Structure 1
């Protein structure tokens, strides 16, 4: 059931998305009314969190059963004894699923209020507490220890330090303030730790602040699927072209049991540091991270750079291109302020990266392309372009196949669409989950729901059939 308004978009962006979701191919297959209904449902789903929190177990350091047991103990503490299951995914053995409880509708709203930014609000809906930098406004009488209602400023118009706010705000739940209003807006650098500890969130998800940091990595379900589709093998040389913050990079290294060479690239220095930190935290030594622009990763002369970018053609057994994208599949996202120019700016960059990836891949090697967005232009249209531009590539079926088929509208055949994976959040109605319904739920039904009600995501898998050195 919908408790929040649908994602707020600029009209030009909503019209652009609608045009691709209600395209001729889709309309001829479903009818205009059904295509429009599905699109509206998708916009509604995007403003709500997925039904499950997904964590990937670092199997390099611990067994899944051991981590599952530790997580159950942690949930007992966080949820004051409420019994919430932790499920192992049957097709993704290193993935654990924790149901999200909510929306909870009987939370008493308090007179004392705090307004947080939209990004902070999204994080709260997925289990985070509120940190001081995320607080935009607070009631003038707010003291440390007060029970306060927390709201998200989804339009981003609340003035920093305001004492009240009458604009569009969405209720996220109640929490306890750890500082007074005066302390929060004093600008004192010593305000470390949380600003508000969420005690009654509208959606109850576990917090992973410093929880089992060596053993688990918080990751959306489709993001874990991608690396399994890549199917890395021990001893291989593997490239993660746009790797930060390193979730998929560390997953690759764990799947090869740290036996091989995993090269991670990102062009932003602090993001590269994050990859290195995550690799170190998870005890993985096969990863080498470089601050480098993936579009320049191909070395055109023949002198070897001793394992540093740029790389010689056909150097890698497998390449993951989890491309920079418009990110419009992320959930929850109540408002996107991007212009149409910003939303459509990614397709050329993705093609530049793809062109380099094809050159860097060995004959017989595998290239997996993925995005966390829902647009046709960044997903199926890119596959159609790649197959036309690179005759050396063949589209291949994926294993595991958990998402649905690709979307019509890019001129791909029904067989080709079946070989893609599109995770469409609108595939199932929005869910209400409470403790009683969990008690009676079958495991199979919960797994089915976790597979469907996740973020919007896309995966394509290509095999390089012949060398591109001479072409």
Structure 2
């Protein structure tokens, strides 16, 4: 599984770690290996606005029995995140027989398949010459992006993802209508047995990585407050904020890409949440510079308008899993810091005195995380770092000049802290619940959270 493009680890040392070169390179290679595997658990958040956790858990148990042909896979409720359910991923399964008929998918599609998705038509790059609907197909991921669209065979670097049944013929896939976007291959024997959530309890569940659910609990939104989600798409955290507020108050969601804003609105509608207002707007311009009253609650906003602000910032995404096609460059990784600081500055201005600002990223670099915290504390004397509840991740990384006490107030989720392991049904039967929860907390995506309080007006 751990097949990567060649990457110079030393190019990334300055942003990944403050350790010596040899130790940093070792850690980076370990991290890359972990990033190529999916987390040990699929995490779903229950929409507690519409149903109880127990009710949804029972519905989900029935669904999993159907998907897994009667196989009994446990569903755990997280003890510190009561609205989060954890489903262990089985795999990698090594006894799947490879078929002569093959399909090759793009790296992004391949990553989704490893986490339980079926193969949708736009993700298919290549298919065997005589492939027809109903054929059993072996599916591979083109992790280097070298396969030509419509190819009949591909001998380049590819990673086996499992077997599935084709819903369409090769001709229908490549000569079909441009708007053909449905399932092209239904995965029946994936190497990682992970539940599919395509149209599964869509009003009750939201598929979300564990640290992404932690963030909103750290923000701790309260009924009646006015809260800003500054970079909100696709709306997982936005809808979580509204649910925790019991849909009482106002949640403003901003994103500068219009189709992503539509996705936020769709998710809010699906989950029955009325307190969310989503706008297509650039977060860096969300501060109204004149003092004229804002028009009907639309952006930009006057200074000190919000009780709490979530800045889940655009980032290099170096914590996302699985990622089998490592293609980051130093230029790309370092490009995010200035944008994050622009957004952070706007967030501080928009926050009321006494208000809470939570900053998060789905990356593991020092430059986008601890360095940003050190910069924020030096730049904005009105901010104080706060302890977080719940505290599930590890403490922050040294190297940005923060004190040991400050590092303890941060949460860093580092996927490489636990060894990569295989999981089978037998081992699940013998596992203690406490051990499984511990593993779910550790073996997740890479992520970072910092919480601030604004002590006085700017």
Q: What TM-score comes out, normalization by structure 2 length?
A: 0.98
Q: CA deviation at 1:33?
A: 5.6
Cα displacement string for residues 97-133 of structure 1 (whole angstroms, at most 9, x for unaligned residues): 0000000011111111100000000000000000111
Task: State how 1:72-471 maps to structure 2 within 5 Å.
Answer: 72-189=61-178, 191=180, 193-305=182-294, 306-468=296-458
* CA distance, structure 1, for counterparts of residue 130 and residue 89 of structure 2: 33
Q: What TM-score comes out, normalization by structure 1 length?
A: 0.95
Question: Does structure 2 conserve the Cα–Cα contact (< 8 Å) formed by 1:265 and 1:272?
Answer: yes
Residues 192, 298 of structure 1: CA spacing in aligned structure 2 closer, same or farther, 3 A cutoff? closer
Residue 17 in structure 1 maps to residue 12 in structure 2? yes
Question: Does structure 2 conserve the Cα–Cα contact (< 8 Å) formed by 1:4 and 1:170?
Answer: no
Residues 35, 337 of structure 1: CA spacing in aligned structure 2 closer, same or farther, 3 A cutoff? closer
Question: Does structure 2 conserve the Cα–Cα contact (< 8 Å) formed by 1:103 and 1:432?
Answer: yes
Task: State how 1:25-104 maps to structure 2 within 5 Å.
Answer: 26-27=19-20, 34-104=23-93
Question: Does structure 2 conserve the Cα–Cα contact (< 8 Å) formed by 1:20 and 1:409?
Answer: no
Aligned partner of residue 197 in structure 2, secondary structure: coil
* CA distance, structure 2, for counterparts of residue 341 and residue 231 of structure 1: 35
* CA distance, structure 2, for counterparts of residue 291 and residue 369 of structure 1: 21
Q: CA deviation at 1:250?
A: 0.2
Question: Does structure 1 conserve the Cα–Cα contact (< 8 Å) formed by 2:12 and 2:330?
Answer: no
Root mean square deviation, CA, Å: 1.3
Question: Does structure 1 conserve the Cα–Cα contact (< 8 Å) formed by 2:247 and 2:273?
Answer: yes
Which range moved further: 55-64 or 295-304? 295-304
Aligned partner of residue 111 in structure 2, secondary structure: helix
* CA distance, structure 1, for counterparts of residue 169 and residue 267 of structure 2: 34
* CA distance, structure 2, for counterparts of residue 133 and residue 171 of structure 1: 19
* CA distance, structure 1, for counterparts of residue 156 and residue 79 of structure 2: 45
Q: CA deviation at 1:343?
A: 1.9
Q: CA deviation at 1:21?
A: 4.1
Question: Does structure 1 conserve the Cα–Cα contact (< 8 Å) formed by 2:38 and 2:115?
Answer: yes
* CA distance, structure 2, for counterparts of residue 380 and residue 183 of structure 1: 50
Question: Does structure 2 conserve the Cα–Cα contact (< 8 Å) formed by 1:9 and 1:335?
Answer: no
* CA distance, structure 2, for counterparts of residue 336 and residue 273 of structure 1: 30
* CA distance, structure 1, for counterparts of residue 312 and residue 178 of structure 2: 36
Question: Does structure 2 conserve the Cα–Cα contact (< 8 Å) formed by 1:173 and 1:198?
Answer: yes
Aligned partner of residue 44 in structure 2, secondary structure: strand
Cα displacement string for residues 416-444 of structure 1 (whole angstroms, at most 9, x for unaligned residues): 11100000000100121000001111110
Question: Does structure 1 conserve the Cα–Cα contact (< 8 Å) formed by 2:50 and 2:204?
Answer: yes
* CA distance, structure 1, for counterparts of residue 25 and residue 332 of structure 2: 24
Q: CA deviation at 1:4?
A: 2.6
Q: CA deviation at 1:190?
A: 6.8
* CA distance, structure 2, for counterparts of residue 21 and residue 441 of structure 1: 34
Residues 223, 424 of structure 1: CA spacing in aligned structure 2 closer, same or farther, 3 A cutoff? same
* CA distance, structure 2, for counterparts of residue 20 and residue 321 of structure 1: 21
Q: CA deviation at 1:341?
A: 1.8
Residues 341, 33 of structure 1: CA spacing in aligned structure 2 closer, same or farther, 3 A cutoff? closer
* CA distance, structure 2, for counterparts of residue 342 and residue 17 of structure 1: 11
Cα displacement string for residues 139-184 of structure 1 (whole angstroms, at most 9, x for unaligned residues): 1121111111100000001000111111110000011111111111
Q: CA deviation at 1:409?
A: 1.1
Aligned residues: 457
Residues 35, 339 of structure 1: CA spacing in aligned structure 2 closer, same or farther, 3 A cutoff? closer
Q: Unaligned regions of 5+ residues in structure 2, if any?
A: none
Question: Does structure 1 conserve the Cα–Cα contact (< 8 Å) formed by 2:16 and 2:364?
Answer: no
